[in-house]
A and B are shown apart, each in its own frame.
Chain A
């Protein structure tokens, strides 16, 4: 069955074709002038046009072109009595009917072209569907990438609604969300503006929809007219949405995050949704669930992190205050002991002196522990002050050597220095370097048995000549230029390879120090590491079990003072 249009100025032809074709086809139209042709193709469907070659008032070429531009896949058959047709025309037409064709042949020709038209229509319909699906897939793909690109709940919901708009071109969506802000929110995305009455109705409907999700279950969050906040997005504020919206086709779905509920969405459209639309809607709503869940978790992590940072600050403050409170009474204790042992209160017996010395020793110990804790706390908070001046490492080594000579003698340890002469001056904080070296030497003394030796070495070395067999190798590879290397070499118990890295780690050390028989907080090495790092140097250790350890640090030879600010940043 097809719709035929015959264009001819000849009544005989009209009669002949009408009698031939009108029986089989449901619609036979006839035109004999320009105006009626175009009126006709506007109002009635046309599949096939038979056009007489022999026209006087009508421009053949022009008419064919115009018809083709108006009707997709239209079949044009030229009715002619000659076999020779101009090239222009032959390009435009689908076939010809010779006037001397038998009736049968005419019918067959027309029929075959009608079938052609059907097939073409079918094909372009499929093409259109394909293009449609492709477009939607594209939107889906874009929406998915947008989903993947953010952990912001607000944005995720916006992307979801945008995606729905692009593919379903809705008139209205109503989304209830609990993750948008703290309170439940009704997000209205509308093509047109919404009156107050309609808004109340939509709100009520959204609440009912929400409640209907939990028919036999407990409603996770009670929402009502009062606590439901409205956020409105209007695309075209000049238009107005009417109550007809409730007669529109609609779809509804919960936005579920598996174990917890996030919200629900209802979508309205004037033209009915297709099955594909429904699938698409479900897909997008489901797709947003996963990133929404991640967003929720992410938010939780951020909050936890902030909490931890706050705790860290409080901890740091707490340590600082407590340490000072602990240090305050130490002064009078120290003073009292010092007065007693000075003999200003009269001479004491040998035993009394022994116990005063014991108390003094322990006060010193406690003082250094508290100082260590304060130092590491300061370093971690990035508040350590450095006083960089041009200095020579020789004076630092000499100082430490003098301070420890007595103790070494008490422990029957041979304590010596082996310094390279004429080492260049460097910019450094001599007090802090003294602290580092003091720490290394006092450790060495703790772990070196009687009769053995400890030596402090100093030398100037190029980065490529500084190396180690230990796990610190990779760290040393980053050095560049000339360095002063100071080593404290002992003949102590040594450190196992697997414990070497841990030696500079704050927490393991504290833990170990509790079980260790030797005193100290175990914070000495972590502090030393930070102080050397602040000087842009490196500290490391070579050790062999039962043979001894060599703690070494390398300081860059610079003529420029280190930048205090960058150090603070690094420490943070």
Chain B
């Protein structure tokens, strides 16, 4: 089974994503802050990462950069979830290396479709 890592500080969102994706026969790992997310990513080497932008301590853009510039993890597709808030706007223009962007509030079916595009 393909492994998906979901990183978001909003538990409700993580839970709904996990439910839907497990329903589609993916194994889901969850992290609720940037630090744990990065640690988990390096540990389990998932097949895909769903990454929120605004999180305490390490934001999603930073995690994406750290992984994408690392030979070991650079092939993992990253789906960036953005709220397009003002704080995020300040970060725009930074190189993130993310493969896809999903805007909150997103449609679960869209997320599933995007995931399936990468993992089949």
Closest to B11 in A: A332
A335 adjacent to B13 (CB under 8 Å): yes
Q: Pick the residue among A335, A344, A383 that contacts B17 (CB under 8 A).
A: A335
Interface of chain A residues 295 through 351 with chain B (CB within 8 A):
317, 320-321, 324, 327-332, 334-336, 338-339, 342, 344
CA distance A278 to B93 in the complex (A): 71
Closest to A366 in B: B105
On chain B, which size bracket covers the interface?
Answer: 10 to 19
Closest to B109 in A: A338
Q: Mark A32-56, 1 if CB is under 8 A from B, else 0.
A: 0000000000000000000000000
A contact residues around B106 at 8 Å (CB): 331, 334
Closest to A364 in B: B105
Tell me the minimal C-beta distance from B20 to chain A in angstroms. 6
Tell me the minimal C-beta distance from A156 to chain B in angstroms. 44
Q: Pick the residue among B10, B104, B108 that contacts A339 (CB under 8 A).
A: B108
Which residues does B use to contact A, with CB under 8 Å? Answer: 10, 12-13, 15-17, 19-20, 23, 83, 85-86, 89, 104-109
CA distance A192 to B86 in the complex (A): 62
Closest to A320 in B: B86
A332 adjacent to B23 (CB under 8 Å): no
A contact residues around B12 at 8 Å (CB): 329, 331-332, 335-336
Question: Given A331-B105, A332-B13, A338-B109, does the pair A321, B86 have CB atoms closer than 8 Å?
Answer: yes
What is the predominant secondary structure among interface residues of chain B facing chain A? helix
B85 adjacent to A324 (CB under 8 Å): yes
Tell me the minimal C-beta distance from A332 to chain B in angstroms. 3
Closest to A336 in B: B16
A367 contacts the other chain (CB 8 A): yes
Q: A331-B104, A332-B12, A335-B20 are in contact. List 7 more A-B contacts (CB 8 A).
A: A324-B86, A330-B104, A332-B16, A335-B12, A335-B17, A335-B108, A342-B109
A328 adjacent to B10 (CB under 8 Å): yes
A contact residues around B13 at 8 Å (CB): 331-332, 335
21 contacts between A and B (CB under 8 A): A327-B104, A327-B105, A328-B10, A330-B104, A331-B10, A331-B104, A331-B105, A331-B106, A332-B10, A332-B13, A332-B15, A334-B106, A335-B12, A335-B17, A336-B16, A338-B107, A338-B109, A339-B19, A339-B108, A342-B108, A342-B109
What is the predominant secondary structure among interface residues of chain A facing chain B? helix
Question: Given A344-B23, A383-B89, does the pair A338, B10 have CB atoms closer than 8 Å?
Answer: no
Tell me the minimal C-beta distance from B120 to chain A in angstroms. 20
CA distance A383 to B23 in the complex (A): 40
Question: Given A324-B83, A332-B12, does the pair A344, B105 have CB atoms closer than 8 Å?
Answer: no
- Select the residue from B10, B15, B108 with max chain A CB neighbours within 10 A: B108
B contact residues around A331 at 8 Å (CB): 10, 12-13, 104-106
Q: Pick the residue among B83, B85, B86, B107 that contacts A334 (CB under 8 A).
A: B107
- A-B CB proximity, top 4 nearest: A332-B12, A335-B16, A331-B105, A330-B105
CA distance A330 to B104 in the complex (A): 9
A367 adjacent to B19 (CB under 8 Å): no
CA distance A331 to B85 in the complex (A): 14
CA distance A367 to B103 in the complex (A): 12
- Select the residue from A320, A332, A334, A383 with max chain B CB neighbours within 10 A: A332
A contact residues around B10 at 8 Å (CB): 328, 331-332
CA distance A332 to B17 in the complex (A): 9
B contact residues around A327 at 8 Å (CB): 83, 104-105
Closest to A374 in B: B84
A contact residues around B20 at 8 Å (CB): 335, 339, 342, 344
Q: Pick the residue among B16, B17, B86, B104 that contacts A328 (CB under 8 A).
A: B104
- Select the residue from B17, B83, B85, B109 with max chain A CB neighbours within 10 A: B85
B contact residues around A317 at 8 Å (CB): 86
CA distance A334 to B105 in the complex (A): 8
B contact residues around A383 at 8 Å (CB): 89
B contact residues around A342 at 8 Å (CB): 20, 108-109
CA distance A375 to B106 in the complex (A): 18
- Select the residue from B12, B89, B109 with max chain A CB neighbours within 10 A: B12
CA distance A383 to B10 in the complex (A): 27
Interface of chain A residues 358 through 391 with chain B (CB within 8 A):
367, 383
CA distance A335 to B20 in the complex (A): 9
B contact residues around A339 at 8 Å (CB): 16, 19-20, 108
CA distance A206 to B108 in the complex (A): 80
CA distance A291 to B42 in the complex (A): 73
A338 adjacent to B85 (CB under 8 Å): no
